[in-house]
Amino acid sequence: MPAKVIPPDPPRTRQPKLAYRDGRFMESSDARTLRIGAEYLEPQARLLKAGVLNTIVFFGSARILPQDVAEARLASIEAENATHPVAPEHLRAARTAVEMSKYYEEARRLARLITEWSLSLKRGNHFLVVCSGGGPGIMEAANRGASDAGGLSIGLNIKLPFEQKPNPYVSANLNFIFKYFFMRKLWFAQPARALIVFPGGYGTMDELWEFVTLLQTRKMGHQAFILMYGSDYWKRLINFDFLVESGTVGPDELHLLRFVDSPEQALAVVKQKLRRNRAMRAALRHPFP
């Protein structure tokens, strides 16, 4: 009898992945629209779940140090300089860092004052929440001040080629990370009732001009205002009057920016402006104290 032929086992079919579980696809250019949508929907879902209603956004340099850190660095460099002379630019930079550190301390104090005031309104921890970019410098100071007051705060961090870790003062459930700058900017703007701009560099100015343009063109969709903290810094950096003189900005458009120079002055303006905000009055259903 001929040998019995045993047919080979059929080839095993590899189980395909669900598209949204396929990391390679989700990171591809074809899935960019999905990633963009996720950076809108996921923060929206978390903020709604947390009950966040309104934010006060702090912008400013990531490079500004806490005063004690800046002073310790300067003391170390001066001690080294006494025995082994250091480069003059290093000594100058350390002294400048001490001068600029006042803005860290003032941002921290202002965030604390705003949070204490918000909590005193008895509308919950999420009624008026301090929001920052989630990183170091002025961002850290803002989150730290809110934490000092026993309140919550938001951190909208961004994934960069160089590492930028979230600062430790962001509330755990309100700590976000974005791939796309424009989606991050959307979440800065959408719930914001005020933007407080401390001294900063390219990134700070980019965010400032974005907000100014949204207000100028009435694209915010709600009432908001901008405070420029540190009039000496900003007026030395930008000749705002020349914009009017050259005809590129109207005189009335300069009123989109208001300059303040102390935490107490800034808090007073925040209270004054929000008293006039119809949506905020409706949310409170009674006058601000």
pLDDT tens for 118-133 read 999 888 778 899 999 9
Q: What is the pLDDT of residue 105?
A: 98
The mean pLDDT of the chain is 91
Confidence of residue 1 (pLDDT cuts 50, 70, 90): low
Cβ(73)–Cβ(101) under 8 Å? no
Owner of token pair 């930079």 = 93
Q: What is the pLDDT of residue 280?
A: 63
Instruction: Report the run of H or E that residue 146 belongs to, with start and end.
Output: helix 138-148
pLDDT tens for 241-286 read 999 999 999 998 999 999 999 999 999 999 999 987 766 665 554 4
Torsion of CA 257, 262, 263, 264, to 10 degrees: -100
Q: What is the pLDDT of residue 213?
A: 94
Cβ(273)–Cβ(279) under 8 Å? no
Cα–Cα distance, 126 to 167 (Å, whole number)? 20
Q: What is the pLDDT of residue 284?
A: 53
pLDDT tens for 8-51 read 777 777 788 898 888 898 899 999 999 999 999 999 999 999 99
Q: What is the pLDDT of residue 283?
A: 57
Give the mean pLDDT of 173-186. Answer: 95
pLDDT tens for 63-95 read 999 999 999 999 999 888 888 888 889 999 999
Q: Which of 58, 111, 64, 102 is nearest to 228 (CA)?
A: 58
pLDDT tens for 216-236 read 999 987 889 999 999 999 999
Q: Where along the chain do its domains lie?
A: 52-66+102-284
Q: Could you tell me the CA-to-CA distances from 173 to 136, 185, 209, 238, 243 in Å, in that order?
A: 19, 19, 29, 37, 42
CATH topology of domain 52-66+102-284: Rossmann fold (3.40.50)
| 125 Cβ neighbours under 8 A, 6+ residues apart | 119, 151, 152
